């Protein structure tokens, strides 16, 4: 049995010492939060999935169930695992549900203000010795950890999208993260069948330090009229063997998230080469955030995505 592309997820039934963290809180039920809940529940953890929006929680459960059904159809999991895994996920909007979590991971909107507020509220509702994490794509782990009462038990855990399919997790120590905490998170991510890449705590870590400038350059290429949306994506797919074109990928990540990451790179590294393309800013201002809002560089209203430029 396998999970996603790794084929390494251990069977839940193989032993009862199933999980590093037995009860996990996930804050933010968007495309990443629901994916983290998905893989954690399949691996045997009890999951508390929290969001401010009830609709996000309903969507999350629907998407998790749909994706698990697809995994079963592909032979990646056994059909009999689905109902018990779904039964391990409890959703809600009340932070009190974090009371018995061994670990809480924050995966809400990529904004330092939002994340600081979430972490402040979370620690007031958590066990004093529980671990804390963030799935931020770019924001300083040291800064977020320093804002809590447990920087030594805090570790950055950057999953990739879609979580059940992508084999990588970047682990990032904050300045105060202890070796024991780091090892615990390494064990956790490996128990999910993921491969760990260790990154130092610099803006965007490894993946987004490299990926987002490429996506930004693709948007500048569109902005300057060098190529159309389909020309740019076709060029990069067929010319460099990328599975998705950069504009298609930007839509998939979420243009708000892309802009937020570029703003962190630009602000924290203070280098003009990371300046977000004005066209990206305009799309976000228009609420054209990509797949999640039905329109970005492509229009997702029909059966096949249609380029918008
Ligand atoms: P998303 O827009 O799909 O979901 C964000 C969710 O956070 C929404 O459901 C929203 O209701 C919720 N939220 C906002 N404020 C909240 C609050 N105060 N309390 C609780 N919930 C709140 O975003 P996403 O793509 O899931 O990104 C989430 C995090 O994961 C971000 O930090 C992002 O940088 C990171 N990330 C994203 C990707 C990606 O490809 N999109 C990949 C890796 C990591």
Write the secondary structure of 130-165 as one string of H (helix), E (strand) and C (coil): CEEEECCCCCCHHHHHHCCCCHHHEEEEEECCCCCC
Last residue of a domain, one of 200, 222, 250: 200
Q: Is 200 a catalytic residue?
A: no
| Ligand 1 in reach of 137 Cβ (< 6 A) | yes
Question: How many Cα atoms occupy the beta-carbon half-sphere of 195 within 13 Å?
Answer: 9
Global pTM value: 0.94
Q: Is 158 a catalytic residue?
A: yes
Indicate if 56 and 170 belong to the same structural domain. Answer: yes
Indicate if 159 and 215 belong to the same structural domain. Answer: no
Indicate if 192 and 59 belong to the same structural domain. Answer: yes
Indicate if 80 and 147 belong to the same structural domain. Answer: yes
Please tell me the predicted confidence (pLDDT) of residue 16.
Answer: 39
Asked if residues 15 and 176 have their Cβ atoms less than 8 Å apart, the reply is no
Residues shown for the chain = 309
Domain range spanning residue 270?
208-299
Distance CA 214, CA 105 (A): 28
Let me know if residue 306 belongs to a domain: no
Let me know if residue 102 belongs to a domain: yes
Let me know if residue 257 belongs to a domain: yes
Please tell me the predicted confidence (pLDDT) of residue 176.
Answer: 98
Let me know if residue 13 belongs to a domain: no
Pocket test for ligand 1, best of 57, 60, 109 (most atoms within 8 A of CB): 109
Q: What is the CATH number of the domain that holds 269?
A: 1.10.1040.10
Find residue 196's DSSP bridge partners.
169
Q: Residue whose CA is closest, atom 4 of ligand 1?
A: 30
Burial per residue of 178-213, b for 16 or more beta-carbon CB atoms within 10 angstroms, e otherwise: eeebbebbbebbebbbbebeebebebbbbbbbebbe
- The answer to whether the peptide bond before residue 162 is cis (omega within 30 degrees of 0) is yes
Indicate if 174 and 67 belong to the same structural domain. Answer: yes
Indicate if 57 and 91 belong to the same structural domain. Answer: yes
Indicate if 42 and 128 belong to the same structural domain. Answer: yes
The alpha carbon of 54 and the centre of ligand 1 are apart by a number of angstroms equal to 14
| Ligand 1 in reach of 107 Cβ (< 6 A) | yes
Please tell me the predicted confidence (pLDDT) of residue 18.
Answer: 59
Indicate if 186 and 275 belong to the same structural domain. Answer: no
Nearest one of 67, 103, 279, 76 to 187, comparing CA atoms: 103
Indicate if 218 and 192 belong to the same structural domain. Answer: no
Let me know if residue 305 belongs to a domain: no
| Ligand 1 in reach of 32 Cβ (< 6 A) | yes
The packing angle between helices 246-253 and 207-223, to 10°, is: 120
| Ligand 1 in reach of 133 Cβ (< 6 A) | no
Backbone angles phi, psi at 255, to 5 degrees: -70, -30
Let me know if residue 11 belongs to a domain: no
Last residue of a domain, one of 200, 222, 255: 200
Indicate if 129 and 103 belong to the same structural domain. Answer: yes
Q: Is 170 a catalytic residue?
A: yes
Q: Which residues contact 73 (CB under 8 A, 6 or more apart)?
A: none
Indicate if 33 and 152 belong to the same structural domain. Answer: yes
Distance CA 109, CA 114 (A): 7
Structure tokens at 89: 């996920």
Please tell me the predicted confidence (pLDDT) of residue 3.
Answer: 34
Let me know if residue 181 belongs to a domain: yes
Report the number of distinct structural domains present in the chain: 2
Let me know if 152 is exposed, middle or buried by CB neighbors in 10 A (0-12, 13-18, 19+): middle
Let me know if 283 is exposed, middle or buried by CB neighbors in 10 A (0-12, 13-18, 19+): buried
Last residue of a domain, one of 172, 200, 228: 200
Indicate if 194 and 212 belong to the same structural domain. Answer: no
Q: What is the CATH number of the domain that holds 27?
A: 3.40.50.720
From the DSSP assignment, how many helices (H) and strands (E) are in the chain? 11, 10
Report residues of the chain scoring pLDDT below 50. Answer: 1-8, 10-17
Let me know if residue 304 belongs to a domain: no
């Amino acid at each position: 049995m396998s999970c996603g592309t790794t084929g390494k997820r251990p069977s839940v039934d193989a032993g009862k010492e199933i999980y590093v963290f037995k009860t996990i809180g996930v804050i933010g039920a968007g495309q990443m939060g629901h994916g983290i809940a998905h893989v954690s529940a399949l691996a045997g953890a009890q999951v508390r999935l929290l969001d401010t929006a009830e609709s996000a929680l309903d969507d999350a459960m629907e998407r998790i169930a749909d994706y698990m059904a697809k995994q079963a159809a592909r032979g990646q999991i056994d059909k009999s695992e689905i109902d018990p895994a779904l039964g391990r996920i409890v959703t809600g909007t009340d932070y009190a549900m974090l009371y018995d979590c061994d670990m809480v991971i924050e995966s809400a909107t990529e904004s330092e203000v939002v994340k600081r507020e979430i972490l402040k509220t979370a620690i007031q509702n958590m066990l004093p010795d529980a671990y804390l994490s963030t799935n931020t794509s770019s924001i300083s782990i040291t800064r977020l950890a320093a804002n809590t009462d447990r920087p030594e038990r805090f570790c950055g855990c950057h999953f990739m999208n879609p979580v059940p399919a992508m084999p990588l997790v970047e682990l990032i120590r904050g300045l105060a993260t202890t070796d024991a905490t780091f090892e615990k998170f390494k064990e956790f991510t490996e128990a999910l069948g993921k491969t760990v890449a260790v990154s130092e705590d610099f803006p965007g870590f490894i993946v987004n330090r490299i990926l987002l400038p490429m996506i930004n350059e693709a948007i500048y290429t569109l902005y300057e009229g060098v190529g159309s949306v389909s020309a740019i994506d076709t060029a990069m797919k067929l010319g460099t063997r990328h599975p998705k074109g950069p504009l298609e990928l930007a839509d998939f990540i979420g243009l708000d998230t892309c802009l937020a990451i570029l703003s962190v790179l630009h602000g924290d590294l203070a280098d003009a080469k990371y300046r977000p393309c004005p066209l990206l800013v305009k799309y976000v201002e228009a609420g054209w955030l990509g797949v999640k809002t039905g329109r970005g560089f492509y229009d997702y209203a029909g059966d096949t995505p249609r380029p918008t430029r």
